[in-house]
């Protein structure tokens, strides 16, 4: 019974993370960055970025929590000889991309915003922002693969 509760809680956390990642990437970011087109406002791209950074800063708590639990659960499964290559690879990429986003990309972007508009108009910032977008997409794909594979294995009685 305890094992089932852990499995269900783990899958719910992964599903929540997928939903939040999808929502932020597909729904929230395009609206925030196109706010001036949607409403009559003089909101600058820099201000849109500040709003998005605050949203991502809060989202990072969920990402760090997910990365922590993915690491703990999958190490535990590995030590119990429940080893699946797809799970291991997708868990690795999920944790790595989550931590890159929360510990590398987000702090860099927030620091640049604190310096001012000029720091967000550099090629270094643009490259870092593009990197964070790619990282975010890899995160969404890898954590979705992890979720689908865990459900598949659970249905086969292997998880």
The residues spanned by each domain of the chain are 2-155
Mean pLDDT computed over 45-51: 89
In the chain, the largest separation of any two C-alpha atoms, in whole Å, equals 59
Tell me the pLDDT tens digit for each residue of 17-44.
999 999 999 999 988 888 777 776 778 8
b/e map 34-58, b = 16+ CB within 10 Å: ebeeeeeeeeeeebbbbebbeebee
Per residue in 72-120, pLDDT (tens digit) is 999 999 999 989 999 999 999 999 999 999 999 999 999 999 999 999 9
Tell me the pLDDT of the chain averaged across its residues: 93
Q: What pLDDT score was predicted for residue 43?
A: 80
């Amino acid at each position: 019974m305890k094992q089932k509760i852990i499995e269900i809680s783990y899958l719910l956390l992964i599903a929540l993370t997928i939903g939040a990642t999808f929502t932020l990437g597909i729904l929230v970011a395009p609206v925030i960055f196109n706010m001036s087109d949607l409403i009559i406002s003089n909101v600058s791209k820099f201000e849109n970025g500040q709003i998005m950074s605050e949203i991502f800063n809060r989202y990072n708590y969920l990402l760090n929590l997910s990365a922590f639990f993915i690491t703990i659960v999958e190490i535990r499964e590995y030590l119990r000889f429940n080893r699946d290559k797809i799970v291991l690879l997708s868990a690795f990429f999920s944790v790595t991309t989550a931590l890159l986003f929360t510990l590398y990309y987000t702090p860099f972007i927030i620091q640049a915003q604190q310096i001012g508009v000029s720091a967000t108009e550099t090629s270094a910032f643009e490259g870092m922002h593009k990197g964070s977008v790619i990282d975010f997409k890899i995160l969404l794909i890898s954590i979705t693969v992890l979720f689908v594979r865990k459900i598949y294995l659970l249905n086969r009685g292997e998880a």
